[in-house]
A and B are shown apart, each in its own frame.
Chain A
Amino acid sequence: MIFDNAPRDIKIDKTNKDKFRFFAHKFDKDEKEIFLLAMKVGLFYDTRIPIKEVQSLAQLSTFSKDDTENMMIIAFSEIKDMNKIFNGKEVIKICEEYANGGIRKLYKLFVEEGANKDDTRIIEDIIERIKLSME
């Protein structure tokens, strides 16, 4: 295990469970993969929301090395200290909170704002946004 003091489980906010399920169905993925997507979206759109009602999603040990590396990269944006990015407790907390914000952002993009739009057109808009951020 790459992390020290890592919690056993990755957690989400209970109130957002339905959103994870919704996107799992929409993208034909499991909720773990949606978590990974959500945390990246949360970081990109700078929306980090603490979890109020905790619910376990999956065991950390089920995530791949690439997944945990992405978690480290996300945590580094906050911690900014290479010595501390192996602190599992802190890294996971940051990722969970970004995922919490990210899942709400995804819901806003695909459901609330994108009610009359095809999903693929929403994805197209997101790509444009990423391109702009790279300039």
Chain B
Amino acid sequence: MWCLYGNEIIKQTAEIGVHYLKNERHLNEETYVTIETQNERIKRTEDNVYIQKKDKNSNKYIPISYPEVEIENTILPTSVKDFFLFKGEFLDSFFENQNKNFLKDTVLNVSQITKLQKVIEILNNLENKYRKEIAKADRKSAELIKVQREIEEFGETIKILKERIIKLDGKLFTYKTEIKQIEGILVDKNVRQLTELLTEEKQLKGQKESLIADKNGIREEIKEKFVNELSFWFLFEVAKNFKKTLNKMEESGKIPPPATPSLIHKILEEKKCICGNSVNVQMKARLEMLLQNLSRDSTKYDELYRINLTLSIDINEFQLISKKIQSLLGKQSEKEQELTQTVKRLEEISEKIKGVSESDAPKLQVQKETLESEISKLEAEKVEVLSDLATNEKNKMYYEILFTKEVDRSGKNEFLVKKLEVINVFRTKINNISIKILNKIVEELNNNTKAYFKDIFWDNYKYMNYDIKINENLNLEVSSPRGSDMLPLLSTGEKKVLALSFISALSDFYGFDFPIIIDSPFTALQKEIIENVLKTLMKLATKKQVIIFTIRYEDKIMNQLIKNASIVYNLEKDKNDNTILKKVK
């Protein structure tokens, strides 16, 4: 898939069939793209587009020039053009503040209402012109000239006042949006509550650290007991048999072993009896006496005797260790529960305060108060301006009536007077038509944008009660059932889908069939959201031609994309390292 950005020179007759696209670097380092067809070549550099035609005789390409078609404002208004050729990476900022008037302009342009407004302007100018002519023609009536001038001046003043109101509305909208954002940060418009939350957050963070440390301590203790104390009990069965055998040996007299010279020597050397007791002076003397009478050697049964004395396989010991570990496990569970609750509460607080520190809160509060004060001033100014406007309109009307009376009284210039009447009638009708068209467009845009968006996210309960609407300023709003502004809270992917839904809805009003061309529509999106954006594009493609540029994603997504596309091109490198366009489908 490919797209040319910037100024295009369009051939006015048949379509251009693309056979070969090449990315070349010239000797002078200029890089350009060429598209070659059977008889023509279009060369696109960074700054310009050239068209060359193949000469039948020489077979060489010679440049041709086409009359420059004023694309903007004639075939495709600038603001609307930007709806067809845009970068997918910035789709999610479609509804940002800087784009608010852009959307309004686009709706008005697409609906051609701006043309109707131009007609009204033309009618107003004609009206002034005819009045001037009437006033000029009737030279005797200085009053008429004066009245006509008054009408003109009031008309100018009204125009200026209306423009002022638009500017004031713009500022008010901006300030109110900023206040909403600040209020979103300042919980319940109460700095004190925010401070309390911040304090609680600090305490809970400390508590969390402490709980984690306790939990880890308990875990280490359990592991320690497992290795040191519990591990012996793996040998329970064999140790039992071992002990049993030793007891039998003791019963049969094999242990303790009979005294032998080596045994006695050993005891005297170690100064310890085989039972473990130390050898005192008396015992030593007796042993030395015994040694003189002994002849046989031991066979390590002394060791076995000692082992039998010390080896304990009391199952109660196991029960005790097991209970200790169970108790530790219980404590661990309690700490884990407490930790879970602490973390949950921390998340709730974080969500409410959204990273605002204690020092930020008073600043934001001051900022908010400043904005509120500005809004009051602007609203007061707006009231004054509206009052001025009403006065001026009233005055203009008065002079218009006066003019008509003067003209009627003089009885001259009947033809021009009739023209004035016709202008008035037309103007009223066109105004009414504009209003009807706008209301109809807004209603349909509302419904279709909502339908597209909800169609994608229908299964997700989060979106089911969202209200999506276009307000009186022709800006898109997304609100919760409680009326909270949800637009800033939508994720990147959700905003992209919303933007595409709006574009899809807008496409129904085009008077001409233009494709929608998007570069990188899936940038910075998670896999699930890519699938949703893909669904939206596929829906859009049932109504409009959609051309997208994209990098390669995982097979599941690419397969879906290729399956649903009519034409697919893949950019590859050839053996000379030039980029070539290969048709995949």
Residues in B neighbouring A123, C-beta threshold 8 A: 222-223, 226, 230, 325
Are A76 and B234 in contact (CB-based, < 8 A)?
no
Considering only residues 75-98 of chain A, those with a C-beta below 8 Å from chain B are: 76-77, 82-83, 86
Residues in B neighbouring A73, C-beta threshold 8 A: 235, 238-239, 242
How distant is the Cα of A73 from the Cα of B322 in the complex, in angstroms?
Answer: 22
B241 at the binding interface (Cβ < 8 Å): yes
CB of B300 to closest CB in A, whole Å: 5
Residues in B neighbouring A40, C-beta threshold 8 A: 231-232, 234-235
Residues in B neighbouring A70, C-beta threshold 8 A: 232, 235
B311 at the binding interface (Cβ < 8 Å): yes
Are A82 and B304 in contact (CB-based, < 8 A)?
yes
How distant is the Cα of A69 from the Cα of B303 in the complex, in angstroms?
Answer: 10
A44 at the binding interface (Cβ < 8 Å): yes
Contact of A43 with B311 at beta-carbon distance under 8 Å, contacts A28-B223, A123-B226, A127-B230 already known: no
Q: Which of B235, B303, B322 contacts A2 (CB 8 A)?
A: B303
B329 at the binding interface (Cβ < 8 Å): yes
Please, what's the 1-or-0 string for A83-126, where 1 marks a CB less than 8 Å from any CB in chain B?
Answer: 10010000000000000000000000000000000111101101
* Chain A minimum-CB-distance residue to B336: A118
Residues in A neighbouring B249, C-beta threshold 8 A: 82
A51 at the binding interface (Cβ < 8 Å): no
How distant is the Cα of A130 from the Cα of B315 in the complex, in angstroms?
Answer: 11
Interface centre among B249, B303, B318 (most CB of A within 10 A): B303
A10 at the binding interface (Cβ < 8 Å): no
CB of B328 to closest CB in A, whole Å: 8
Main secondary structure of the interface of B (DSSP, over half): helix
CB of B311 to closest CB in A, whole Å: 7
Main secondary structure of the interface of A (DSSP, over half): helix
How distant is the Cα of A89 from the Cα of B198 in the complex, in angstroms?
Answer: 68
B236 at the binding interface (Cβ < 8 Å): yes
Please, what's the 1-or-0 string for B316-327, where 1 marks a CB less than 8 Å from any CB in chain A?
Answer: 001000100110
A133 at the binding interface (Cβ < 8 Å): yes
* Chain A minimum-CB-distance residue to B303: A2
Are B236 and A130 in contact (CB-based, < 8 A)?
yes
Q: Which of B242, B300, B322 contacts A127 (CB 8 A)?
A: B322
Are B325 and A69 in contact (CB-based, < 8 A)?
no
How distant is the Cα of A130 from the Cα of B227 in the complex, in angstroms?
Answer: 14
A31 at the binding interface (Cβ < 8 Å): no
Please, what's the 1-or-0 string for B232-274, where 1 marks a CB less than 8 Å from any CB in chain A?
Answer: 1111111101100110010000000000000000000000000
Considering only residues 296-323 of chain B, those with a C-beta below 8 Å from chain A are: 299-300, 303-304, 307, 311, 315, 318, 322
* Chain B minimum-CB-distance residue to A2: B303
Are A26 and B223 in contact (CB-based, < 8 A)?
yes
* Chain A minimum-CB-distance residue to B254: A82
Are A76 and B241 in contact (CB-based, < 8 A)?
yes
* Chain A minimum-CB-distance residue to B315: A134
* Chain B minimum-CB-distance residue to A34: B227
CB of B235 to closest CB in A, whole Å: 6
B219 at the binding interface (Cβ < 8 Å): yes
B288 at the binding interface (Cβ < 8 Å): no
Are A82 and B235 in contact (CB-based, < 8 A)?
no
Q: Which of B227, B245, B328 contacts A33 (CB 8 A)?
A: B227
How distant is the Cα of A2 from the Cα of B315 in the complex, in angstroms?
Answer: 27
Are A118 and B322 in contact (CB-based, < 8 A)?
no
CB of A76 to closest CB in B, whole Å: 5
Are A82 and B245 in contact (CB-based, < 8 A)?
yes
Contact of A83 with B303 at beta-carbon distance under 8 Å, contacts A37-B227, A40-B235 already known: no
Are B237 and A69 in contact (CB-based, < 8 A)?
no
* Chain A minimum-CB-distance residue to B300: A86
B332 at the binding interface (Cβ < 8 Å): yes
Are A127 and B325 in contact (CB-based, < 8 A)?
yes
B188 at the binding interface (Cβ < 8 Å): no
CB of A84 to closest CB in B, whole Å: 11
Considering only residues 42-59 of chain B, those with a C-beta below 8 Å from chain A are: none
B72 at the binding interface (Cβ < 8 Å): no
How distant is the Cα of A83 from the Cα of B233 in the complex, in angstroms?
Answer: 25
Are A44 and B234 in contact (CB-based, < 8 A)?
yes
Contact of A130 with B238 at beta-carbon distance under 8 Å, contacts A28-B220, A119-B219, A119-B223 already known: no
Are A134 and B236 in contact (CB-based, < 8 A)?
yes
A52 at the binding interface (Cβ < 8 Å): no
Residues in B neighbouring A2, C-beta threshold 8 A: 300, 303
Are A120 and B332 in contact (CB-based, < 8 A)?
yes
Residues in B neighbouring A77, C-beta threshold 8 A: 238, 241
Are A134 and B318 in contact (CB-based, < 8 A)?
yes
Residues in A neighbouring B230, C-beta threshold 8 A: 123, 126-127, 130
Please, what's the 1-or-0 string for B92-119, where 1 marks a CB less than 8 Å from any CB in chain A?
Answer: 0000000000000000000000000000
A36 at the binding interface (Cβ < 8 Å): yes
A29 at the binding interface (Cβ < 8 Å): yes
Residues in B neighbouring A130, C-beta threshold 8 A: 230, 233-234, 236, 318
Residues in A neighbouring B231, C-beta threshold 8 A: 36-37, 40-41
Q: Which of B238, B311, B332 contacts A74 (CB 8 A)?
A: B238
Considering only residues 188-234 of chain B, those with a C-beta below 8 Å from chain A are: 218-220, 222-224, 226-227, 230-234
CB of B57 to closest CB in A, whole Å: 77
Contact of A43 with B238 at beta-carbon distance under 8 Å, contacts A27-B227, A83-B299, A123-B226 already known: yes
* Chain A minimum-CB-distance residue to B313: A73
Residues in A neighbouring B222, C-beta threshold 8 A: 119-120, 123
Interface centre among B218, B231, B239, B311 (most CB of A within 10 A): B231
* Chain B minimum-CB-distance residue to A78: B238
Residues in A neighbouring B325, C-beta threshold 8 A: 123-124, 127
CB of A122 to closest CB in B, whole Å: 9
Please, what's the 1-or-0 string for A40-55, where 1 marks a CB less than 8 Å from any CB in chain B?
Answer: 1101100000000000
Binding site for A on B (CB under 8 A): 218-220, 222-224, 226-227, 230-239, 241-242, 245-246, 249, 299-300, 303-304, 307, 311, 315, 318, 322, 325-326, 328-329, 332
Q: Which 6 A-B pairs have the closest CB atoms?
A: A44-B234, A40-B234, A77-B238, A120-B222, A73-B242, A123-B226
Q: Contacts A76-B242, A127-B326 known; list 6 others, CB within 8 Å.
A: A41-B234, A72-B307, A76-B245, A82-B304, A120-B218, A127-B325
Binding site for B on A (CB under 8 A): 2, 26-29, 33, 36-37, 40-41, 43-44, 69-70, 72-74, 76-77, 82-83, 86, 118-121, 123-124, 126-127, 130-131, 133-134
